[in-house]
A and B are shown apart, each in its own frame.
Chain A
């Protein structure tokens, strides 16, 4: 299709496109809308899923066991980190570690803080048991320079304070020793401390804080469970709920379902818009393509008279459509990416979902998918004009020429 010393096919396509800028802008806009909405929908779903994966990886748990009245509160701790305080009503949770299939079980205590200097709003404090913990201890293994001693805290990525500095909760001063990587989940808005320090903080709160904190000893808010290799987390979770009355279990799949439920309205809107735009666009783009092809009929007949094959003409029409689809899609995907990245926090806040910018590979795959779909739509819209032109005789576009 190209000729190094002659005239290039791409130049012919480019010049033809440049000759009708206004109509092309409308077509490019339609493709931008299709690709942008499709891409956004995928971006949100994958961002939430990857965020949840990162959050569960951070916890290092296969199952989270919470009091049956606090299933939603437990999910909220993981998903958005909205501060909450709750406890098991009795100490029956200790039985969890004895259930077959449970490899490790570690209690955690969730405490909603008061306003603190670090943050615009109260944060979620999570107290861990250093003896059994596998959430923070796993992170400490990866960060050997960090030790978690008395009054030390490790903070989520959204808590604004540098390691080595102090933070005060309920009038008690804690030393920040580390900052966790961003996960997009509630972990980013949490502060991790030890049970013992939490008890001391609660004990001092009556004298030092504006509000006294009461936390019962030997009680936990949740138990994180790691199952033995080869065991099904779902089966172990069922067994826990059966053997330990008053408990409910949270699994990553269940969390994803909850997130999907929250995302459903948005993705439905985006995907519905994309489908609607696509359905409307195909005949419209087909019409535009047919109009353009009709306008170009004379030029195409000239090309045919000069030796162009039907294949060349087909490729010329398709190349013009594909070029518009690619330009429109790149613009749509670019604008959508910019919007979703810039308004990441707003999306997380307003949709109440965990959200993280997906990996570059995922973004490329999502963008590539949206681009391919646009190109397929462009191809579909061009079928009729291509059919019409290749069926007609080369001289028809010039006129029957009965002179």
Chain B
């Protein structure tokens, strides 16, 4: 589905160079639920951005369904993002000037997966428990509600892969559980999920867990579970 081959991303700040992602190799297979675990600043979001075609790698190649997205036109990459990828930001990423329902409908401006987007948007909002908040503006929502609205928006075009950047970062444990259950259900229904988090408690939801530390991606991950101290391990599917 998605293949990252030796991708590197460096940023220049003044005279120094920051290597956010360093020679990462990753093959995401269809139907997988991949969890990338790492500390804040380890390069997880940058890697996700490159997988989604939002960030151009400094070196290496990202392939989506066999296509090298580095050589595709902007229109083509945008089309892939609109129809194939559901992206969930670390923050809610809702547009503040429009309502929850309208936010969910925004991706239908770029690609329409069916005739009745509005009906599908309402169904999705019902699924994430926001059927009563369709006309609300993002500023009136709680963090959990904003995150759930963003998930509904990511699913509006029935993408083949869901890429989520710390989707449960600032949520209470109950909301985190609901969202992870939803991701798990979507994965069981066939959707590929790639998610980054710094919460090792979420490892059981994944079919494969990877670790990221100082830009380096590895099959081994550093457990950050409080109370357990730091330890290393490998991903354990639930």
Residues in A lying within 8 Å of B, measured CB to CB: 1, 3, 5-7, 9, 11-12, 15-16, 18-19, 299, 302-312, 393-395, 398, 400-403
Nearest residue, chain A, Cβ from B108: A6
Q: Please indicate the chain B residues that have their CB under 8 angstroms from the CB of A398 in the complex.
A: 89, 93
CB contact between A312 and one of B18, B95, B98, B110 (< 8 Å): that residue? B110
CB contact between A309 and one of B74, B87, B102, B112 (< 8 Å): that residue? B74
4 closest A-B pairs by CB: A307-B82, A401-B45, A6-B108, A307-B110
Interface string of B1-40 (1 = CB under 8 A from A): 0000000000100000010100000000000000000001
Contacts between chains A and B (CB distance < 8 A), count: 124
Q: Please report the C-alpha to C-alpha distance between residue A16 and residue B102 in the assembled complex, in whole angstroms.
A: 13
Beyond contacts A7-B117, A400-B11: 20 other A-B pairs, Cβ-Cβ < 8 A, are A5-B117, A6-B112, A6-B118, A7-B98, A7-B108, A11-B98, A12-B98, A15-B102, A302-B93, A306-B81, A306-B82, A306-B87, A306-B153, A307-B83, A308-B78, A308-B109, A310-B74, A312-B78, A401-B46, A402-B43
Q: Please indicate the chain B residues that have their CB under 8 angstroms from the CB of A306 in the complex.
A: 81-82, 87, 106-107, 110, 153
Judge whether B96 is part of the interface by a CB distance below 8 angstroms: yes
9 A–B pairs (Cβ distance < 8 Å), ordered by A: A6-B109, A303-B95, A306-B82, A307-B157, A312-B110, A393-B54, A401-B49, A402-B45, A403-B43
Are the CB atoms of B118 and A305 closer together than 8 Å? Answer: no
Q: Please indicate the chain B residues that have their CB under 8 angstroms from the CB of A9 in the complex.
A: 109
Are the CB atoms of B46 and A402 closer together than 8 Å? Answer: yes
Are the CB atoms of B54 and A303 closer together than 8 Å? Answer: no
Judge whether B115 is part of the interface by a CB distance below 8 angstroms: yes
Nearest residue, chain B, Cβ from A20: B97
Are the CB atoms of A402 and B49 closer together than 8 Å? Answer: no
Q: Give the one of B54, B96, B111 with max A CB within 10 A.
A: B54
CB contact between B81 and one of A16, A305, A400 (< 8 Å): that residue? A305
Judge whether B116 is part of the interface by a CB distance below 8 angstroms: yes
Are the CB atoms of A18 and B89 closer together than 8 Å? Answer: no
CB contact between A403 and one of B40, B105, B111 (< 8 Å): that residue? B40
Nearest residue, chain A, Cβ from B55: A395
Are the CB atoms of A393 and B110 closer together than 8 Å? Answer: no
Judge whether B166 is part of the interface by a CB distance below 8 angstroms: yes
Judge whether B165 is part of the interface by a CB distance below 8 angstroms: yes
Are the CB atoms of A401 and B110 closer together than 8 Å? Answer: no
Judge whether B63 is part of the interface by a CB distance below 8 angstroms: no
Q: Please report the C-alpha to C-alpha distance between residue A6 and residue B52 in the assembled complex, in whole angstroms.
A: 24
Nearest residue, chain B, Cβ from A2: B109
- Tell me the chain B residues, 96-151 only, with Cβ under 8 Å from chain A: 96-98, 102, 105-112, 115-118, 121
Interface string of B209-224 (1 = CB under 8 A from A): 0000000000000000
Q: Please indicate the chain A residues that have their CB under 8 angstroms from the CB of B54 in the complex.
A: 304-305, 393-395
Q: Give the one of A5, A309, A400, A403 with max B CB within 10 A.
A: A403
Judge whether B204 is part of the interface by a CB distance below 8 angstroms: no
Q: Please report the C-alpha to C-alpha distance between residue A11 and residue B121 in the assembled complex, in whole angstroms.
A: 17
Q: Please report the C-alpha to C-alpha distance between residue A403 and residue B198 in the assembled complex, in whole angstroms.
A: 9
Are the CB atoms of A403 and B90 closer together than 8 Å? Answer: yes
Are the CB atoms of B45 and A403 closer together than 8 Å? Answer: yes
Nearest residue, chain B, Cβ from A396: B55
Are the CB atoms of A3 and B108 closer together than 8 Å? Answer: yes
Are the CB atoms of A308 and B97 closer together than 8 Å? Answer: no
Nearest residue, chain A, Cβ from B48: A401
Are the CB atoms of A1 and B109 closer together than 8 Å? Answer: yes
Q: Please report the C-alpha to C-alpha distance between residue A393 and residue B75 in the assembled complex, in whole angstroms.
A: 14
Q: Please indicate the chain A residues that have their CB under 8 angstroms from the CB of B93 in the complex.
A: 302, 305, 398
Are the CB atoms of B42 and A403 closer together than 8 Å? Answer: yes
Are the CB atoms of B81 and A393 closer together than 8 Å? Answer: no
Q: Please report the C-alpha to C-alpha distance between residue A305 and residue B154 in the assembled complex, in whole angstroms.
A: 10
Q: Please indicate the chain B residues that have their CB under 8 angstroms from the CB of A16 in the complex.
A: 97
Q: Please report the C-alpha to C-alpha distance between residue A398 and residue B43 in the assembled complex, in whole angstroms.
A: 15
Judge whether B178 is part of the interface by a CB distance below 8 angstroms: no
Are the CB atoms of B106 and A393 closer together than 8 Å? Answer: no
Q: Please report the C-alpha to C-alpha distance between residue A294 and residue B79 in the assembled complex, in whole angstroms.
A: 25
Q: Please indicate the chain A residues that have their CB under 8 angstroms from the CB of B118 in the complex.
A: 5-6
Are the CB atoms of B165 and A401 closer together than 8 Å? Answer: yes
Q: Please report the C-alpha to C-alpha distance between residue A302 and residue B90 in the assembled complex, in whole angstroms.
A: 12
Nearest residue, chain B, Cβ from A9: B109
Are the CB atoms of B117 and A6 closer together than 8 Å? Answer: yes
Q: Please report the C-alpha to C-alpha distance between residue A304 and residue B82 in the assembled complex, in whole angstroms.
A: 9
Are the CB atoms of B111 and A307 closer together than 8 Å? Answer: yes
Q: Please report the C-alpha to C-alpha distance between residue A401 and residue B102 in the assembled complex, in whole angstroms.
A: 26
Q: Please report the C-alpha to C-alpha distance between residue A310 and residue B77 in the assembled complex, in whole angstroms.
A: 11
Q: Please indicate the chain A residues that have their CB under 8 angstroms from the CB of B56 in the complex.
A: 393
Q: Please report the C-alpha to C-alpha distance between residue A15 and residue B109 in the assembled complex, in whole angstroms.
A: 15
Q: Please indicate the chain B residues that have their CB under 8 angstroms from the CB of A12 in the complex.
A: 95, 97-98, 106, 109
A375 shortest CB reach to chain B, Å: 23
CB contact between B89 and one of A1, A5, A19, A302 (< 8 Å): that residue? A302
Q: Please report the C-alpha to C-alpha distance between residue A312 and residue B93 in the assembled complex, in whole angstroms.
A: 18
Q: Please indicate the chain A residues that have their CB under 8 angstroms from the CB of B87 in the complex.
A: 305-306
Q: Please indicate the chain A residues that have their CB under 8 angstroms from the CB of B107 in the complex.
A: 306-307
Q: Please indicate the chain B residues that have their CB under 8 angstroms from the CB of A5 in the complex.
A: 108, 112, 115-118
A318 shortest CB reach to chain B, Å: 16
Q: Please indicate the chain B residues that have their CB under 8 angstroms from the CB of A402 in the complex.
A: 11, 18, 20, 41-43, 45-46
Q: Please report the C-alpha to C-alpha distance between residue A9 and residue B81 in the assembled complex, in whole angstroms.
A: 19
CB contact between B96 and one of A3, A19, A308, A311 (< 8 Å): that residue? A19
Judge whether B44 is part of the interface by a CB distance below 8 angstroms: yes
